[in-house]
């Protein structure tokens, strides 16, 4: 190559001659070899994948014996992903692979039986429930979240107060200006700017939107009759959509006079300040982990049947004086009979999955719920834990009961 610089004739011409000569007449052979190489590559990838599967080991626990470790895969909600990651790191009896692909994709994955459990911030809607194949899935409340209103009014210092009625009117564009009399009436003494409200909502489907729109439905009849509650809403025009909690926060933070809503976990993790919301007792509550936990406890939820319709189940508008009104569960979905649902399942794998689920909803030292607070999640209430445990214990393998051995 370096000799090119010293060459006396034009080496480039020589090279192109050579290539042209090689090109002629060998097309078929080259194509055949190309196909063979591609097939070989695919085979190599396939073998290596199969190789991974066959590795096995045995793990013992104090007190009882659990089967050899298997890989358990879950997919869904991005909101619970940090908690899932913390769980996957700490849980040793099985390998937990959680893909934070979004709640909707998680529901698609459990419907298609490509994962062992799905996770969603919102329960199955009627269409999604119909799509679930036999033998059907259990809906397991797994952690607790809440929607909080955020806004960008640089002139204000104390948290602004909102009611469900006012929030609904803002998102319906009945209230369009920050100094509207309805807002002023619940914020006496606050100098509200004379500025048009920039309304920001989630542009992607979201459990936070589900919780927020459920609350607005309960607060405002027009909302309930026109827009309802769902993970995506047919928002009025003139409003701004942003993707994800991070997108809504970024848009509100960079847009003066904007209002938005995000999940409490996101707001706490990222130190976003948010407004107070009036609860049924008439108090204006700034959400925190304590008053969300008490809200779930005080709402004294009557859980639907595990395989039933959870779409209208709510823990919002709890009666306690200090309860935050926009609390919500996030959910896991698992098939009721693992042997019937998956043709490839073994009793060992079924035991491993049930052990993991029981560990996730348990609050003994080292178990799942004890990880909640440090990751800014609200741990399950005692009633929810009892409900979950009995639900998970009802899971069968080809009709047979599954022996459990929950690690601590």
Partner 1 sequence: MTRGNPFPTFPSRKTRAVSKWGDRIFLVLTAVAAAGLIAVLVALVVVLYHGSLPTINALGLNFLYTLTWNPQGNVYGIVPFAIGTLLTSAIALLLAIPLSIGAAIFLTQHAPTWLREPVAQVIQLLAAIPSVVYGFWGLIVLVPIMRYDVDPILANVLGWTGWFSGRHIGLDVLTASVVLSIMTVPTITAISKDSILAVPRSQKEAALSLGATDWEVSRRAVIPYARSGIIAGIVLGLGRALGETMAVTLVIGNANVIPTSLFSQGQTIASLIANDFFEQETPLELPALLEAALFLLIITLAVNIVARWIQARFQAGRAVGAE
Residues in contact with partner 1 by CB under 8 A are: 3-4, 6-9, 11, 14, 17-19, 22-23, 26, 30-31, 33-35, 37-38, 101-105, 108, 125, 127-128, 131, 196, 198, 203-206, 228, 230-235, 237-243, 247, 250-251, 254-255
**DSSP state for residue 282 in the 8-state scheme:** S
**DSSP state for residue 116 in the 8-state scheme:** S
Nearest-approach distance from CB 126 to partner 1, in angstroms? 10
Question: Looking at the DSSP assignment, which residues form a beta bridge with residue 96?
Answer: 72
Closer Cβ to partner 1, 202 or 297, answer by number: 202
Nearest to 70 by CA among 50, 55, 84: 55
Answer for the pair 239, 177: CB distance below 8 angstroms, yes or no.
no
Closer Cβ to partner 1, 77 or 163, answer by number: 77
Nearest-approach distance from CB 21 to partner 1, in angstroms? 10
Closer Cβ to partner 1, 4 or 398, answer by number: 4
Compute the distance between CA of residue 351 and CA of residue 209 in angstroms, rounded to an integer: 35
Nearest-approach distance from CB 288 to partner 1, in angstroms? 27
Nearest-approach distance from CB 186 to partner 1, in angstroms? 25
Q: Tokens standing for 311?
A: 């779409």
Query: Helix crossing, 164-171 with 207-219: angle to 10°?
Result: 110
Closer Cβ to partner 1, 38 or 64, answer by number: 38
Closer Cβ to partner 1, 80 or 392, answer by number: 80
Query: Helix crossing, 382-393 with 289-298: angle to 10°?
Result: 70
Nearest-approach distance from CB 127 to partner 1, in angstroms? 5
Neighbours of 222 (CB within 10 A): 13
Nearest-approach distance from CB 377 to partner 1, in angstroms? 20
Closer Cβ to partner 1, 7 or 133, answer by number: 7
Sign (positive or negative) of CA dihedral 48, 50, 51, 57: positive
Compute the distance between CA of residue 268 and CA of residue 146 in angstroms, rounded to an integer: 11
Answer for the pair 153, 161: CB distance below 8 angstroms, yes or no.
no
Q: Tokens standing for 332?
A: 């896991």
Closer Cβ to partner 1, 240 or 385, answer by number: 240
Compute the distance between CA of residue 392 and CA of residue 139 in angstroms, rounded to an integer: 10
Compute the distance between CA of residue 169 and CA of residue 243 in angstroms, rounded to an integer: 23
Nearest-approach distance from CB 128 to partner 1, in angstroms? 8
């Amino acid at each position: 190559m370096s000799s090119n610089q010293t060459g006396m004739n034009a080496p480039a011409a020589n090279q192109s001659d050579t290539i042209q000569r090689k090109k002629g007449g060998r097309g078929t052979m080259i194509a055949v070899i190309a196909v063979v190489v591609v097939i070989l590559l695919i085979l190599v990838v396939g073998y290596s994948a199969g190789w991974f599967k066959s590795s096995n080991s045995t793990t013992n626990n104090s007190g009882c014996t659990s089967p050899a470790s298997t890989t358990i895969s879950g997919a869904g909600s991005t909101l619970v992903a940090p908690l899932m990651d913390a769980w996957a790191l700490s849980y040793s009896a099985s390998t937990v692979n959680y893909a934070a692909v979004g709640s909707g994709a998680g529901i698609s994955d459990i419907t298609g039986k490509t994962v062992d459990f799905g996770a969603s911030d919102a329960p199955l809607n009627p269409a999604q429930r119909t799509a679930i194949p036999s033998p059907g899935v259990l809906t397991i409340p797994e952690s607790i979240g809440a929607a909080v209103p955020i806004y960008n009014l640089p002139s204000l210092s104390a948290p602004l107060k909102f009611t469900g009625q006012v929030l609904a009117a803002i998102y319906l564009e009945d209230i369009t200006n920050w100094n509207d009399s309805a807002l002023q009436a619940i914020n006496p003494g606050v100098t509200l700017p004379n500025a048009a409200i920039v309304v920001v909502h989630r542009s992607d489907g979201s459990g936070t939107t589900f919780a927020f729109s459920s609350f607005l439905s309960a607060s405002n009849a027009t909302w309930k009759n026109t827009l309802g509650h769902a993970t995506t809403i047919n928002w009025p025009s003139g409003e701004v959509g942003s993707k994800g909690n991070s997108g809504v926060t970024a848009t509100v933070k960079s847009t003066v006079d904007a209002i938005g809503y995000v999940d409490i976990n996101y707001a706490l993790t990222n130190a976003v300040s948010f407004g107070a919301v009036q609860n049924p007792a008439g108090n204006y509550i700034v959400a925190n982990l304590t008053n969300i936990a008490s809200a779930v406890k005080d709402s004294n939820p009557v859980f639907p049947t595990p395989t039933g319709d959870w779409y209208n189940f709510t823990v919002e508008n709890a009666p306690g004086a200090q309860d935050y009104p926009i609390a919500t569960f996030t959910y896991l979905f698992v098939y009721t009979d693992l042997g019937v649902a998956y043709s490839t399942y073994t009793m060992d794998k079924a035991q491993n999955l049930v052990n993991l689920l029981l560990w996730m909803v348990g609050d003994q030292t080292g178990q799942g719920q004890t990880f909640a607070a440090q990751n800014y999640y609200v741990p399950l209430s005692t009633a929810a834990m009892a409900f979950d445990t009995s639900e998970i214990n009802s899971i069968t393998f080809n009709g047979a009961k599954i022996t459990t051995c929950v690690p601590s």
